[in-house]
């Protein structure tokens, strides 16, 4: 092993150690940045064509592609999350109103009027005991369901907030990958202490050569 190879191994060892420490520091942002890397790699050929079509203005192309990713991925996800929160809140209100309006007490009579209802009512009464026990069982189950909805709703709101924050980080990172990705890759390429032919073998993957 010659001196250049030893230096290259030391360089990559130090680089991996630094990347590991940076990963620990930015652990909450690892997945958003990783998704930004994947999207930038997949869309980079389109970015190159769009930049050429815009007369070499990379910033304009980066803005357009980032907005396109925002419209195609983030906006539908946020809308879906808001709808889930809204429906969960509506379900909780419906359960509370049903309990307050005496729906639990009316349930045995309503079951008797449905096809197969008497069988279900008989099974429930056999499972819970007397009819009063059936009402108490349904009331307890409805309240448990209501508490479950409230708990899940708060968790969902928190998860939606974290998801939106992650996507904002991803969009911010994606923009700069589009805008300055080639310059960053060229700088990294120049820092690798190997001959150009060896660098080309390492960076043989498509679009990796700056």
Task: Say how far apart CA 202 and CA 15 lie, in whole Å.
Answer: 15
What pLDDT is attached to residue 205?
A: 47
Integer-rounded Cα Rg, in Å, for the chain is 30
pLDDT of 194-203, one tens digit each?
A: 666 666 666 5
Q: What's the confidence (pLDDT) of residue 129? A: 54
Note the pLDDT tens digit of each residue in 137-184.
666 776 676 667 666 666 666 766 777 777 788 888 888 888 877 776
CB atoms within 10 A of CB 51: 21
> What are the residue boundaries of the structural domains of the chain, listed by start?
3-108+150-202
Return the closest-CA partner of residue 188 out of 59, 19, 40. 19
pTM for the structure as a whole = 0.46
Q: Answer whether residue 209 shows pLDDT above 50.
A: no
């Amino acid at each position: 092993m010659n001196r250049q190879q030893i230096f290259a191994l030391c360089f990559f060892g130090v680089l991996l150690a630094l990347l590991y420490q940076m990963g620990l520091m930015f652990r909450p942002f690892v997945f958003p940045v990783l998704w930004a890397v994947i999207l930038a790699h997949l869309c980079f050929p389109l970015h190159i064509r769009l930049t050429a079509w815009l007369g070499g203005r990379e910033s304009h192309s980066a803005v357009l592609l980032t907005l396109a990713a925002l419209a195609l991925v983030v906006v539908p996800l946020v809308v879906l999350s808001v709808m889930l929160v809204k429906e969960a809140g509506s379900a909780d209100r419906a359960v509370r109103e049903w309990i307050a309006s005496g729906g639990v007490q009316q349930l045995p009579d309503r079951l008797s009027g449905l096809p197969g209802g008497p069988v279900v009512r008989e099974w429930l009464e056999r499972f819970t005991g007397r009819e009063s026990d059936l009402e108490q069982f349904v009331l307890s189950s409805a309240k448990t369901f209501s508490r479950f909805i409230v708990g899940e709703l708060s968790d969902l709101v928190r998860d939606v907030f974290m998801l939106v924050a992650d996507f904002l980080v991803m969009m911010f990172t994606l923009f700069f990958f589009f805008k300055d990705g080639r310059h960053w890759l060229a700088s990294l390429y120049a820092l690798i202490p190997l001959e150009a032919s060896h660098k080309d073998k390492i960076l043989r993957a498509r679009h990796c050569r700056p």
